[in-house]
Amino acid sequence: MIKLLVGLGNPGQQYEKTRHNAGFLFLDHLMDSKGGGWSVSQQFQGQVANISVAGMRLDMLKPMTFMNKSGLSVGKMLRYYKLKPEELLVVHDELELPEGVVKMKRDGGHAGHNGLRDIIAHIDTRDFFRLRIGIGRPAMGANVADYVLSKPSAQGFSLLDAAFSLLEGHIESLAAADISMINDRLAR
């Protein structure tokens, strides 16, 4: 069972709606649909909230440490609540998936994603769940950093929003870490 849902992104208005902030965008979508709000936590160096899923509390975290230092915030929250890494689901952008395609997995490397790299370093394991939100790849020869830190097109936003709505409809399966259901129903 997932007890901590972490969305990865960068704080600040200039990053607000960028591809790299797909994790923040999904958690914000959930909070908007549930009518909740975020609280600033100095202790966890992030914004925190919680929702109820099937009668269980699901804590949520948006690290405000910038992407490359996400592990600091995540590690503090895991230790404070005495959570196991397998109770963690990290939502992040994924270049290797087309825009709006969602896949869930457990374990694995960081595949060059600096947010995942820092989390692995801080919690000393790769054994946690990941929800990969497809943002597509930039055109051949384009700068990857510029691409991930830019805003998607209107169609790209529409694809992300549709994926977020589908995920919201399957939040119980997500919280139960039902990888096959999420991948079978949501991978297009």
* Positions marked catalytic: 20
User: Cα–Cα distances in Å, from 131 out to 51, 52, 86?
Assistant: 18, 19, 13
Closest CA to 91 of 20, 5, 19: 5
Question: Nearest 5°: phi and psi at 33?
Answer: -70, -30
Q: How many CB atoms lie within 10 A of CB 179?
A: 16
DSSP H helical segments within 81-150, as ranges? 114-123, 144-148
Classify burial at 44, counting beta carbons within 10 Å of its beta carbon; exposed 0-12, middle 13-18, buried 19 or more.
buried
Task: Tell me the β-bridge partners of 6.
Answer: 61, 90
User: Using CA atoms, how far apart are residues 86 and 84, in angstroms rounded to an integer?
Assistant: 5
16: closest CA among 68, 69, 62?
A: 62
**Is the CB of residue 8 less than 8 Å from the CB of residue 65?**
no
Q: Longest Cα pair distance anywhere in the chain, in angstroms?
A: 49
